Amino acid sequence: MKKNVSFHEIQSLKQWWIWLILAFANFTLLYGCYKQLILDQHYGNNPIGNTELIIVTLVVLLITIGVAMLKLETMIDKTGVYVRFLPFQKNYKFFDWKRVESYKVRKYSPIIEFGGWGYRIAGRRKRAYNMYGKMGLYLVLFDGSKVLVGTQIPEGMDAYLTELSKYKVD
């Protein structure tokens, strides 16, 4: 195996229904701003004030931008597993192979095991980094902690880990 070879995955939010809801909310609010602020016509039967409309519109736009920026980055190499959840984590969280007792790519239930998607804490020693889906790398650390890192390419991750296990990990 080459010295600099690694597994790298970047996941972003792809659920069409979330984007549909956000698009509808943004369109509705932007149309309301246009009608109320530019055309000087009330928007709706019981319109809110201009300031409130602008604030609500900006909040929804910022939420949309935040959702668009969500990314789960995973990198695995001979030293360990690196994971970060952008934009919340600038630096990678590193799990050194020397701290890992066992690992496997497995199917899991995000809602039952972790209460949903995202960065999740389930109990004192169980954490998950997942964007969507039901497959992930499950790490059991020597201190008893368990970490699950979601993946959309489990076959590629598993193949890389199998290849990596053929060589002595530093």
What's the DSSP call for residue 115? S
Are 110 and 154 contained in the same domain?
yes
Domain count, the chain: 2
What's the confidence (pLDDT) of residue 167?
67
What's the confidence (pLDDT) of residue 122?
87
113 and 132 Cβ atoms separated by less than 8 Å = no
Asked, for residue 6, whether it belongs to a domain, the answer is no
Asked, for residue 39, whether it belongs to a domain, the answer is yes
What's the confidence (pLDDT) of residue 164?
86
Written as six digits, the tokens of 121 are: 């804490």
Range list of H helices, the chain: 16-33, 50-69, 110-114, 154-165
Are 90 and 149 contained in the same domain?
yes
- The residue range of the domain holding 127 is 76-165
User: How large is the C-alpha radius of gyration of the chain?
Assistant: 22
* Cβ within 8 Å of residue 159, ≥6 positions away: none
d(CA 152, CA 159): 14
What's the confidence (pLDDT) of residue 1?
45
Are 19 and 40 contained in the same domain?
yes
Are 124 and 86 contained in the same domain?
yes
Closest C-alpha to 2, from 76, 73, 77, 74: 77
In this structure, the strands spanning 118-121 and 126-130 are: antiparallel
pLDDT averaged over 10-residue windows placed end to end, the chain, 170 residues: 74 90 96 92 86 95 93 95 93 96 94 89 90 94 95 94 73
Instruction: Please state whether the predicted TM-score (pTM) of the whole model is above 0.85.
Output: no
Asked, for residue 37, whether it belongs to a domain, the answer is yes
d(CA 83, CA 90): 10
Could you give the 3-state DSSP secondary structure of residue 132?
coil
- Among residues 25, 45, 69, the one where a domain terminates is 69
